[in-house]
Amino acid sequence: MNSELPEPRGVPVGRRVFLGTLGLGALGVLAAPTLQRGTEAFLGGAADLDPTGLTGLLPNGGGFRYYSVTSSVPRKDAKNYQLTVDGLVDRPATYTLADLRALPQTRMVLDVQCVTGWRVPGTPFEGVRLSQLLDAAGVRSSAGAVHFTCFDGAYTESLTLEQARRADVLVALRMQDKDIGHPHGGPVRLYVAPMYFYKSAKWLSGITVTENVEPGYWEERGYDIDAWVGRSNGRDDEPTT
Amino acid sequence: MSLRLDPPQVATRRQRFSVAERWAHRATAVLMGVCVLTAVFLYIPAFAQLVGRRALVVTAHQWAGVALPIPVLAALGSRALRADLGLLNRFGPHDRVWLRAVLRRDKRPSSRPAHKFNAGQKIYAAWTAGATLVMLGTGLMMWFTHLTPLTWRTSATFVHDWLALSLGIVLAGHVGMAMGDPEARRGMRTGSVTREWAEREHPLWWP
């Protein structure tokens, strides 16, 4: 009753499909730079016409992606936000959101480049130059670096003092000409224009001047500390500044 | 009320999948599930905001991906699996008839002849096996970034992203078709299927 009819030995199409898929995958890796330019151009155009925003979910569909290293991040606003500046400084300080808004603001419009590959062209950032806060605090001569902490309770970043004093490093209050919202690291985030975006720590809450560079969260996990766009992390993206 | 007697049972069920095959399928499904779920948490902004914990989710995704081929490789020790792989590999004239019926949207069982596996299942098996290995290769290139030249990495990300989307759609089709066919699911769960089902879906296997 359970006699099984043998299936006639046919053509090994399965093996061809299997090997063909592997081959196409390898070919895809080789042809990716060309293909990627094509899809980016096409999806960039399509995204402008797409009211649903679904194209943003496609690979290289454009726009920012949300990354957080903790399970949840407290919300802070003008009422309870504070930024402290301490460490090797003569005048430690604490700034409220209103204090930061009262300082001279700098606006820059440059590309944002993430180390995972996505890039958002021409993004306006606006805020206080970090160098201004450092000068106001009076950095001691023994200092060599700046360490940043965040109110998500986990993320940290750092820059050398020389990098931190660049004119294109901001304590940013606005992005895309809007106050920075919570998902984008608001109300205050760091903006390090010439570096990969993981240097631009979200939810900034502390600036500590230190003697030496202390590696940040992703740098403990293998990312480069000096994260110049196009010259680090083994990537060759076009520089953002 | 009247008592109704069931007709006598005569070889109404037939073994379709061995224990090793069923466990390989289960383990692969769990690992693939972890890969897909963590991918959603990493990739879709709304879910990324909900879950966060990026380093942990990345680790889970990487290890589930690396482990994905292991259940099937381990089950290659089973004669039943090797026999089924042989059946999945070979395409006969009836498979061409089956594919043509699909293209014509001809749903009559009589116009869709199939042995133990129909042509769609054969193509699905071969393609997902290949696609999974491409995902593994490109995934390893993104994981161990110092092992490959730099331009390869961006390219690997590109292939990994688009293939993930394709694989997700194909997997949804696989799960969706199983949801619509309780007897096929029972075959994968218990190992055996009814005669009526086999005669309808796989007439050349149990005519």
- State the Cα–Cα distance between residues A173 and A177, nearest whole angstrom: 10
Minimum mean pLDDT range among A35-39, A93-97, A122-126, A164-168:
A35-39
Residues A187 and A133 in one domain: yes
Looking at the partner chain, which of A29, A58, A222 has a beta carbon nearest the beta carbon of B152?
Answer: A29
Q: B76, B82 in Cβ contact below 8 A?
A: yes
Identify the closest residue of chain A to B44 by CA–CA distance: A57
pLDDT tens-digit map of B31-63: 999 999 999 998 887 788 788 888 899 999 999
Within-domain flag for A239: no
Model confidence band, residue A126 (pLDDT cutoffs 50, 70, 90): very high
- State the Cα–Cα distance between residues B150 and A160, nearest whole angstrom: 26
Residues A115 and A204 in one domain: yes
Minimum mean pLDDT range among A98-102, A236-240, B121-125:
A236-240
Within-domain flag for A159: yes
Burial of B172 (0-12, 13-18, 19+ CB in 10 A): exposed
What residue segments make up the domains of chain B, in order of their start? 13-201
Per DSSP, B164 falls in state H
Q: Which residues in chain A are closer than 8 Å to B45, comparing Cβ atoms?
A: 56, 64-66, 183
Give this complex's ipTM. 0.86
Model confidence band, residue A141 (pLDDT cutoffs 50, 70, 90): very high
Q: Which residues in chain B are closer than 8 Å to A116, comparing Cβ atoms?
A: 157
Pair of tokens at residue A167 = 């004119």
- State the Cα–Cα distance between residues B30 and A161, nearest whole angstrom: 49
Residues A134 and A192 in one domain: yes
Q: Does B90 touch chain A (CB under 8 A)?
A: yes
Within-domain flag for A231: no
- State the Cα–Cα distance between residues B20 and B41, nearest whole angstrom: 32
CA B153 from centroid of its chain's CA atoms: 28
Best-predicted range by mean pLDDT (A110-119, A137-146, B144-153): A137-146
Contact B53 A2 (CB under 8 A): no
Contact A32 B137 (CB under 8 A): no
Tell me: pLDDT of A53 over 70: no
Residues A44 and A140 in one domain: no
Identify the closest residue of chain B to A55 by CA–CA distance: B44
Minimum mean pLDDT range among A23-32, A82-91, A113-122:
A113-122
Q: Please tell me the distance in Å from B63's CA to the nearest CA on chain A.
A: 16
Pair of tokens at residue B124 = 């699905």
Pair of tokens at residue B177 = 């078709």
List all residues 6 or more positions away from A133 whose beta carbon is below 8 Å from its beta carbon. A85, A93, A95, A171, A207
Tell me: pLDDT of B124 over 90: yes
Residues A166 and A100 in one domain: yes
Topology, domain B13-201: Fumarate Reductase Cytochrome B subunit (1.20.950)
The per-residue b/e assignment along B61-78, b for 16 or more CB within 10 angstroms, e otherwise, is: bbebbeebeebbeebeeb
Contact A18 B127 (CB under 8 A): yes
Residues A120 and A202 in one domain: yes
Contact A67 B206 (CB under 8 A): no
Note which residues in 24-83 of chain B have CB less than 8 A from chain A: 43-45, 48-49, 51-55
CATH number of the structural domain spanning residue A154: 3.90.420.10
Contact A183 B116 (CB under 8 A): no
3-class secondary structure per residue, chain B: CCCCCCCCCCCCEEECCCHHHHHHHHHHHHHHHHHHHHHHHHHCHHHHHHHCCHHHHHHHHHHHHHHCCHHHHHHCCCHHHHHHHHHHHCECHHHHHHHHHHHCCCCCHHHCCCCCCCHHHHHHHHHHHHHHHHHHHHHHHHHCCCCCCHHHHHHHHHHHHHHHHHHHHHHHHHHHHHHCCHHHHHHHHHCEEEHHHHHHHCCCCCC
What pLDDT was estimated at residue B40? 92
Query: Which of A3, A4, A13, A36 to probe by mutation at the B interface, max B CB count within 10 Å?
Result: A13
Q: Phi/psi at B4 (nearest 5 deg)?
A: -110, 130
> Closest by alpha carbon to A95, among A141, A130, A126?
A130
Looking at the partner chain, which of A14, A64, A221 has a beta carbon nearest the beta carbon of B126?
Answer: A14
Residues A192 and A111 in one domain: yes
Within-domain flag for A241: no
Residues A204 and A96 in one domain: yes
What pLDDT was estimated at residue B108? 86
What pLDDT was estimated at residue A67? 75
Q: Phi/psi at A234 (nearest 5 deg)?
A: 65, 25
Task: State the residue range of the domain holding A107.
Answer: 82-210
**Residue A204 in 3-state DSSP?**
strand
Residue for token pair 């799960």: B175
List all residues 6 or more positions away from B86 whose beta carbon is below 8 Å from its beta carbon. none
**Residue A203 in 3-state DSSP?**
coil
Query: Which of A1, A2, A4, A7 to probe by mutation at the B interface, max B CB count within 10 Å?
Result: A7
Contact A33 B161 (CB under 8 A): no
Residues A93 and A198 in one domain: yes
Q: A132, A171 in Cβ contact below 8 A?
A: no
Residues A128 and A198 in one domain: yes
What pLDDT was estimated at residue B3? 57
Pair of tokens at residue B204 = 């050349």
Note which residues in 155-184 of chain B have CB less than 8 A from chain A: 155-159, 161-163, 165
Q: Which residues in chain B are closer than 8 Å to A223, comparing Cβ atoms?
A: none
Model confidence band, residue A2 (pLDDT cutoffs 50, 70, 90): very low
Contact A18 B126 (CB under 8 A): yes
Within-domain flag for A46: yes
Domain total of chain A: 2
Average pLDDT over residues A193-206: 95
